Amino acid sequence: MTLDRASTLFLALMLATLLAGCATGPRVHTYSAPNVDFADYRTFGFIEETGTDRGGLAPKITEFFKSASRRELTALGYRYDPESPDLLINFFVNAEQHEDIYLHANLQSMDDYYDYRYGMYSTWPVYTLKAESNNYETGTITIDVVDARLEQLIWEGRVEGRLTQRVVSNPRGIISDSVTEIFSKLPAARR
């Protein structure tokens, strides 16, 4: 393989890796307890003190979660009952710092030092590595669905994604979108 072809292949692989990293959006993960039949549940309410309340977040954030959850659960056929719900809903928010380190190989010619050989043959290629780092913050929203009678977690949905300026400037919108994504995986109530 010639040097130009190797360089082109290396560049193509680096570009493909970079584009694949940019293409990823929020990831949704769910867990459902075994042997749970969601057809047995018809109503929902909220944990008295949600994880967002204990996390010291503004009460507005909790209201955004409650409003979006009410909308999505009602659309799934569940009925809101604050007095004696079958299911209790809880929310958690977490943010973590991350650092990605990328190494780039740069071809460095040794021709300047070995100019006296010019015309007879070329020198060997020398590669230097350059490190670049990318610091960013990821956010995780977790919604727990608890069997109120058993006081047992029966379903969990979690969405993860990069925190961007859009997220910080519009928490209501991102919370609404995330709750929709998470509850799209929850089984519907029996009608």
The answer as to CATH 3.30.160.670 being correct for domain 25-98+137-183 is yes
Tokens of 89: 């809903």
Q: How confident is the prediction for the chain on average, in pLDDT?
A: 78
CA angle 81, 77, 187 (to 5 degrees): 110
Question: Kindly report the CA angle at 155 between 175 and 25, in degrees rounded to 5?
Answer: 40
Pairing of strands 152-162, 27-32: antiparallel
Enter the pTM of the model.
0.67
Do residues 93 and 160 lie in contact, with contact meaning Cβ atoms separated by under 8 Å? no
Q: What angle do CA 131, 129, 20 make, to 5 degrees?
A: 60
Tell me what pLDDT residue 65 has: 94
Distance (Å, rounded) from C-alpha 21 to C-alpha 142?
A: 23
CB 171 within 8 A of CB 61: yes
Tell me, letter by letter, the H, E, C secondary structure of 145-161.
EEECCCCEEEEEEEEEE
What are residue 149's phi and psi, to 5 degrees?
-70, -45
- 143 Cα distance to chain centroid: 14
Residues 150-163 have a mean pLDDT of 89
CB 43 within 8 A of CB 53: no
pLDDT tier, 144 (very low <50, low <70, confident <90, very high otherwise): very high
User: Tokens 């209501």 correspond to what residue?
Assistant: 172
Q: Which residue has the higher pLDDT, 64 or 3?
A: 64
C-alpha 135 chain-centroid distance: 15
pLDDT tens, 169-187? 778 888 899 999 999 999 8
DSSP 114-145: TGGGTTT-PPPPEEEEEEEEEEEEEEEEEEEE
Secondary structure element (H or E) that encloses residue 19, with its range: helix 3-23
For residue 117, pLDDT beyond 50:
yes
Lowest mean pLDDT among 1-15, 36-50, 90-104, 151-165: 1-15
